[in-house]
Amino acid sequence: MKTVSKSSFTLFELLIVILIISIIYAIFVQKLSNKESVVKSKGIEAVGELLEGFEFNSSADIICTDSCKECAIYIDGKKVKEIPSPFEKEPKIYDFDIHGLLSRVTFTPLFDENDNPKEVCFKYSLYPNRSKSSYIMEYKDKYYVFFAYLHPVEKTESIQKAQELYDPSQWVPTDSSEYNP
């Protein structure tokens, strides 16, 4: 007596697999578009949430050009997705210079496929050690403090309060005795 072994899928089984893959894809696409709507609903404070879930080696970045009208997500330096700009106008970015004074930040230009420079008005980065861009951003008469580690973005009404929040002397040891308990 011969036994016949079944070595292929039936049409029904293939349709079930396609249905499962379609459902998973729909959930992923919805999740990605929900992140963009979160930024619109929560505001600038949630911009880092757009980078969650991406795998990268050197950095995951949100870079905005053309007076912050065009924004995109870059993974390890390669553009992977255009996103709606969270800005209605160009923000001002500040950081402390080597003298401890708050100064405007100028980002390195981005070069397009024809090697033409494009001015970058906003760049937010996430790194493999889970650190992120840190600076103070002025936008629509509010000040947003982006911290390098652990803290969520904080919004304040004054530049003085933003500087107090951003002051690294609160969390960086100033002499060697603070390293050794």
DSSP the chain: ---PPP-S--HHHHHHHHHHHHHHHHHHHHHHHHHHHHHHHH-GGGGGGGGTT---SS-EEEEEETTTTEEEEEETTEEEEEE--S-SS--EEEEE-TTS-EEE--PPPEE-TTS-EE-EEEEEEE-TTS-B--EEEEETTEEEEE-SSSPPPEEES-HHHHHHHH-GGGTS-SSGGGT--
Residues 6 or more apart whose CB falls under 8 angstroms from that of 104 comprise 92, 93, 94
* 83 contacts 60 by C-beta, under 8 angstroms: no
> Is residue 168 a part of any domain in this protein?
yes
How many domains is the chain partitioned into structurally?
1
- Domain with 88, as residue range(s), is 13-172
> Is residue 81 a part of any domain in this protein?
yes
> Is residue 137 a part of any domain in this protein?
yes
What pLDDT is recorded for position 173?
53
> Is residue 62 a part of any domain in this protein?
yes
Q: How many CB atoms lie within 10 A of CB 57?
A: 9
- Min mean pLDDT across 45-54, 57-66, 67-76 is at 45-54
> Is residue 4 a part of any domain in this protein?
no
pTM summary value: 0.70
> Is residue 68 a part of any domain in this protein?
yes
Task: For residue 174, give Cα distances in angstroms to 41, 146, 151.
Answer: 40, 22, 21
What pLDDT is recorded for position 51?
84
> Is residue 125 a part of any domain in this protein?
yes
pLDDT beyond 90 at 74: yes
What pLDDT is recorded for position 166?
84
